[in-house]
Structure 1
Amino acid sequence: MTVTIVILVVAVLVFVWNRVPVGLVAIGVALSLWATGVVSLEQAFGGFGDPVIIFIAALFVVSDGLEASGVTAWAGQQLVDRARGSRRRLVVLLMALVALVTALISVNGAVAALLPMVVVTAVRLGLSPSQFLVPLAFGAHAGSLLVLTGTPVNVLVSELAVGAGERPFGFFSFTLVGLPLVLGTILVVVLFGPRLLPVRTPAALPRDLSGHGRLLAQQYDLPDDALLASDTGVTEVVVSPRSSLIGVEAFPGMVTNSGDLVIAAIQRGGDDVGRTTLVAGDALLLQGTWEALDLTTSDPDVIVVDPPQLLRRQAAPMGARARVAIGIVLGMVLLLATGAVPASVAALLAACAMVLLRVMTVTEAHRSISWTTLILVGGMIPLSVAIQSTGLADSMAGGLVEAVGADNPHLLLLGIVVVTVILGQLISNMATALVIGPIAVAVALDTGLSPLPMLMGVTVAAAASFLTPVATPANTMVFGPGGYRFGDYWRLGLPLTVLFVSVATFLVPVFWPF
């Protein structure tokens, strides 16, 4: 038990130190537990074969399929159209939208997809982006509790419930607390956001490419209705100073050597030219399939002005791929909601369908997976196992019961929730759940209570990552574009944390009695 405590403390300290990649920390934890004899070799690496890993990896692919097909960009444009210049309306629509998108893909994916659109919308309305980006991140955290797929933490606690002899949480089980939290989060931001959030202009803003097709058409004097489609598009490149293309004769309409791209136009010094011998600095507008355009980013002969992948996701219209992607997601949701197959199987089928039905390529699917997240979860699962197998969970649970008393289950739940919230500001919410989850189960079993309210309390508390910009990647994502400072988060985050702790302590036991 002592060895496990030392490894746990060191891991938390290294996470907080934030100088070592989290994936390496997780691998170090697994290897340390094996080297000290706390777990077997099979247990040390068993986490990487856990169904939770398969489920999370598949969700990354499904999430990217929605983005690649233009669904999230379309949703963002609807936000712009319906805001009608009102700050309050924009906040409500923004937070409702990001919550729904998060429920289908992930917190980080939803924030990353909507962030550029939100910034540009704020600028168009003459408002400060700093009034909207923290609400974007906080709305995503609340939205992660709407359904099972909202965050890997939901999947983890569901597996912990099964390990404790209970039924897993259903697909919509989380909605019972998630929906009130989404509504409460929106209400808090609408009422207190204008006073608690700063009004700042960031040094740099992310590029908005939603109207880029029209701009390119004007620049090169081309019809804009033919430039961007769901399967084909354009990208602007510049001949690099040491390019092998220098001295090569080219002309508009010429097919490139690869055979899959066409030179739509050539400009030199801002002026259109016809047949010419290329020199360094010439701008070429290339047209072809998005897959072929993506290859230009790794071509040393040219400098890509705007990444084709980003242009496609923001500016290309939704086509047949979008309808297919939506159908795949709805099918996955149906399988998860009915429990017809295990969650990992449902997600894996959806991920495979995204590739087989050509919503995305195999390469895009590989690139969409956050391997750092998978390594973090796989490496930390052995620690969760060790906390239980060495009796550490029982010991810590006993200490909490002694400190609080076994007569008041609400106080026990409050103690677990507060510890989870504090730890969640320092390390990832997934790592927090892996550490606190087994302790919550042990507390419940030691006192004869149901593990379900304890585990759901951990889930809600793990989502309350509001107090610092480093608590989650989503918080970090909006830090620069919003021009925030470190202390800006806790002002609005504190009342939201109180809301989440209250829901975890008092509302959760209503739906999952002790």
Structure 2
Amino acid sequence: MLTPLSQRRYYFPMTTDIWIVTCVLLATIIAFVLDRFRLDVVAFISLMVLLLTGILTPTEATAGFSNSLVLMIAGLFVVGGAILESGVADLAGRWLGRLGGTSTIRLTVIVMLASALLSAFLSSTGTVAVMLPVVLSLCRRAKVSPSKLLIPLAFAASLGGMLTLIGTPPNMVVNQVLRDAGLDTFHFFSFAPAGILMLTLGIVFMCTIGTRLLPAQRTGSGNASQDQGFVSRPELIHSYGVDGQIREIRIPHGSTFAGRTLRDLRLRTVFHVNVIAVSTTGARGTVVRKCDPDTLLQPGDTLLIKSSNEEAIANLISEGKIELIASTAALPKEVYLAELIIPPRSEFVGRTVRDVDFFRIYGAMVLALQHRNKPVGTRTSDTPLVPGDTLLIAANASALKRLRKSRSNVLLVSEQEEQRESPLTPAARWVVVILVGMLIAMSAGIVANVTAVLAAATLMVIAGAFRGSNAYQSINWESIVMIASVMPLATALEKTGTLDLVVGEIVESPGLTSPSSLLLLLFAVTSLLSQAISNTATGVLIAPLALQLAERLGISPYPLLMGVALAASTAFSTPVASPINALVAGAGNYRFGDFLKVGVLLQLLILFATLAIVPLLFPFSP
């Protein structure tokens, strides 16, 4: 005769292995929260500790790197990269952005719908990277503060991940847990009913309560051009405090600079001035020459230089025996101004402008730097870059093309003048066809999800969506290694009995044996962890716990796992809760409290909605 559940008692000895796994888990979470080290490095070190202590066998430790979930996420990075590289995502974002009008409420609805739609099929970070320039342009045209729209943009990208199986990695994680347990998995659109409700609640909340809580720090200057995504040259120069710092000088005969290269002169390090352009006047008129360290200066050349140091300019004129033509000069039409933002996880974070050497990498000259929308007045080249910093750069047309494709390290958010070219590449139509085919195959269950994704990624490369090694570069290897390294940690929790210990304590706790209480607990823990660590890592750790609890209590695992997936997409309450929050924090000039007061309310709203709707869609009875 079975003992009633309420009278059962589970005893688990705290073995050495349990202590080791618990310490590794806590240390990993703390390191993730502190965010002082790369996530993949932290996860891999944790994996090595478990391997060296003998808790995991080599086969178990390396199982994550061959797991179908990891392969599918890598394939989705390639598919998403092809959508971005071909211009399809940019075109969709700009087309949807034109519907915005000038009403703040209407703009909020359009921005959130567009962001959620893209995020259902792209990564949330890629979605915000596409939509950020569009939203900033809409703000300028409508004279609306960016702070009113950028948090809704980020939140909608997270909510959009709730719409499909591939919307966000935690959805695929809970699906993999079901597959590994030999249970029926979620279908491609199983998340859609709950996701649509959460998105609707999010839009309604942001259009009513949320918009009142968001700061109105500044409005558009009204100087923006009518071309979407492009601003006027005076507006950019003024907003970065560069007015009066661009001068024009001439190299006369007899100058000590004549016949020498820019590398030889070391103008930036010796005289603290930046050369923006070099012009030569000849029989064919004035020609703006390529400006690089090997550019040879000749008598009669004119240089556009930027410096805020009057003494440095005086020394330059005196020692070089050069002429000052204009103390306030205009840039030639061949030189464009643009605005960049440093995204989270950029390789440039922590490095100075001088260390990065934007001119060597992109052919762009950094004119000014802003931190939290405040210009860095002096020592711009020696200031370490942090996520959210924005830079004003001068570049030619080819340099702008390179910058547009460098979404992982720098994000081009506004340009001084539009380049009249088609945003679509020749492979764009094939990208759309392959994407639609992948979605049909996954939603109809024609082939396994991982097969559909890997086939689509392969076809994207064959169709020419990428050039060279760009397909490899589109994969976020930090995320892949982190996920593959964290998955064996879940195995260690189960293998050592740590997971059973936690499950037993929860089952024995009064008030937590009801399914609704468990759903509440799992949602709260997952949502809380997602504010501090990767939502994927959170899903990997919590999903097996949800499955074990369901098995122990004899209830269906589907509502609990759906609750975990939804909760993992509620990283709203801090600017560091997710990369997309950090990405908009600088551009919107938000403070920590802005995310807190809006995000906590939205999280609570999603929590109550989950408790109400998930048991109806996925009953607790097995």
Amino acid paired to 1:57: A
Q: Counterpart of 1:343?
A: 449
Q: Counterpart of 2:136?
A: 119
**In the aligned structure 2, how far is the partner of 1:375 from the partner of 1:348?**
18
Displacement after TM superposition at 1:276 (Å): 8.3
How many residue pairs get aligned? The number is 459
Amino acid paired to 1:444: A
Q: Secondary structure at the match of 1:333?
A: helix
**In the aligned structure 2, how far is the partner of 1:390 from the partner of 1:209?**
63
Kindly indicate whether residue 520 of structure 2 is the aligned counterpart of residue 414 of structure 1.
yes
Q: Counterpart of 1:26?
A: 43
**In the aligned structure 1, how far is the partner of 2:423 from the partner of 2:362?**
30
Check conservation: 1:133, 1:482, Cα contact below 8 A.
yes
- Out of 592, 596, 613, the position equivalent to 1:486 is 592
Kindly indicate whether residue 616 of structure 2 is the aligned counterpart of residue 510 of structure 1.
yes
- Out of 59, 72, 81, the position equivalent to 1:64 is 81
Kindly indicate whether residue 262 of structure 2 is the aligned counterpart of residue 241 of structure 1.
yes
Percent of residue pairs identical: 33
Q: Counterpart of 1:307?
A: 400
Q: Counterpart of 2:103?
A: 86
- Out of 399, 424, 427, the position equivalent to 2:533 is 427
- Out of 491, 496, 513, the position equivalent to 1:390 is 496
Amino acid paired to 2:165: L
Check conservation: 2:362, 2:403, Cα contact below 8 A.
no
Equivalences for residues 196-215 of structure 1 within 5 A: 196-201=213-218
TM-score w.r.t. the length of structure 2 is 0.68
Q: Using a 3 Å threshold, how does the CA distance of structure 1 residues 84 and 48 change in structure 2: closer, same or farther?
A: same
Displacement after TM superposition at 1:273 (Å): 2.2
Q: Using a 3 Å threshold, how does the CA distance of structure 1 residues 162 and 301 change in structure 2: closer, same or farther?
A: closer
Amino acid paired to 1:170: H
Q: Using a 3 Å threshold, how does the CA distance of structure 1 residues 284 and 135 change in structure 2: closer, same or farther?
A: closer
Q: Secondary structure at the match of 2:439?
A: helix
Displacement after TM superposition at 1:163 (Å): 2.0
Amino acid paired to 1:484: Y
- Out of 469, 483, 490, the position equivalent to 2:575 is 469
Displacement after TM superposition at 1:95 (Å): 0.3
Displacement after TM superposition at 1:302 (Å): 8.1
Kindly indicate whether residue 186 of structure 2 is the aligned counterpart of residue 169 of structure 1.
yes
**In the aligned structure 2, how far is the partner of 1:441 from the partner of 1:53?**
20
Check conservation: 1:266, 1:273, Cα contact below 8 A.
no
Q: Using a 3 Å threshold, how does the CA distance of structure 1 residues 56 and 276 change in structure 2: closer, same or farther?
A: closer
Q: Counterpart of 2:470?
A: 364
Q: Using a 3 Å threshold, how does the CA distance of structure 1 residues 132 and 358 change in structure 2: closer, same or farther?
A: same
**In the aligned structure 1, how far is the partner of 2:83 from the partner of 2:30?**
37
TM-score w.r.t. the length of structure 1 is 0.82
Amino acid paired to 2:74: A
**In the aligned structure 1, how far is the partner of 2:20 from the partner of 2:178?**
26
- Out of 172, 176, 183, the position equivalent to 1:159 is 176
Equivalences for residues 101-112 of structure 1 within 5 A: 101-112=118-129
Q: Which moved more, 1:358-367 or 1:467-476?
A: 358-367
Q: Using a 3 Å threshold, how does the CA distance of structure 1 residues 345 and 267 change in structure 2: closer, same or farther?
A: farther
**In the aligned structure 2, how far is the partner of 1:32 from the partner of 1:355?**
38
Question: Deviation digits for residues 55-92 of structure 1, max 9, x if unmatched?
Answer: 11111111111111112221222233211211111110
Displacement after TM superposition at 1:164 (Å): 2.6
Amino acid paired to 1:14: A
Displacement after TM superposition at 1:209 (Å): 12
Kindly indicate whether residue 200 of structure 2 is the aligned counterpart of residue 183 of structure 1.
yes
Displacement after TM superposition at 1:465 (Å): 0.6
Check conservation: 2:120, 2:160, Cα contact below 8 A.
yes
Displacement after TM superposition at 1:505 (Å): 2.2
Displacement after TM superposition at 1:321 (Å): 2.4
**Structure showing the higher helix proportion among its residues:** 1
- Out of 20, 26, 36, the position equivalent to 1:9 is 26
Q: Which moved more, 1:373-382 or 1:116-125?
A: 116-125
**In the aligned structure 2, how far is the partner of 1:337 from the partner of 1:157?**
17
**In the aligned structure 1, how far is the partner of 2:230 from the partner of 2:591?**
35
CA radius of gyration, larger in:
2
Kindly indicate whether residue 562 of structure 2 is the aligned counterpart of residue 456 of structure 1.
yes
Displacement after TM superposition at 1:211 (Å): 6.5
Displacement after TM superposition at 1:436 (Å): 0.9
Kindly indicate whether residue 453 of structure 2 is the aligned counterpart of residue 440 of structure 1.
no
Task: Provide structure 2 residue ranges, at least 5 long, that are not aligned to the other structure.
Answer: 1-17, 234-259, 266-276, 298-302, 305-331, 336-357, 366-394, 406-411, 414-418
Q: Using a 3 Å threshold, how does the CA distance of structure 1 residues 139 and 299 change in structure 2: closer, same or farther?
A: closer
**In the aligned structure 2, how far is the partner of 1:275 from the partner of 1:480?**
34
Q: Counterpart of 2:286?
A: 273
Displacement after TM superposition at 1:378 (Å): 0.7
Q: Secondary structure at the match of 1:273?
A: strand
- Out of 124, 127, 131, the position equivalent to 2:148 is 131
Check conservation: 1:417, 1:505, Cα contact below 8 A.
no
**In the aligned structure 1, how far is the partner of 2:529 from the partner of 2:105?**
33
Q: Secondary structure at the match of 1:148?
A: coil
Q: Counterpart of 1:98?
A: 115
Kindly indicate whether residue 162 of structure 2 is the aligned counterpart of residue 145 of structure 1.
yes
Q: Secondary structure at the match of 1:82?
A: coil
Check conservation: 1:404, 1:411, Cα contact below 8 A.
no
Q: Counterpart of 2:250?
A: none
Q: Secondary structure at the match of 1:398?
A: helix
**In the aligned structure 1, how far is the partner of 2:608 from the partner of 2:489?**
29
Q: Using a 3 Å threshold, how does the CA distance of structure 1 residues 208 and 126 change in structure 2: closer, same or farther?
A: closer
Q: Counterpart of 2:12?
A: none
**In the aligned structure 2, how far is the partner of 1:453 from the partner of 1:108?**
27
Task: Provide structure 1 residue ranges, at least 5 long, that are not aligned to the other structure.
Answer: 217-238, 245-264, 287-295
Q: Counterpart of 1:321?
A: 427
Q: Using a 3 Å threshold, how does the CA distance of structure 1 residues 240 and 443 change in structure 2: closer, same or farther?
A: farther
Displacement after TM superposition at 1:102 (Å): 0.4
Considering only aligned residues, what root-mean-square deviation do their CA atoms show, in Å?
Answer: 3.2
Displacement after TM superposition at 1:482 (Å): 0.4
**In the aligned structure 2, how far is the partner of 1:130 from the partner of 1:42?**
49
Q: Using a 3 Å threshold, how does the CA distance of structure 1 residues 242 and 211 change in structure 2: closer, same or farther?
A: farther
Amino acid paired to 2:262: P
Check conservation: 2:97, 2:110, Cα contact below 8 A.
no
**In the aligned structure 1, how far is the partner of 2:528 from the partner of 2:288?**
65
**In the aligned structure 1, how far is the partner of 2:101 from the partner of 2:229?**
22
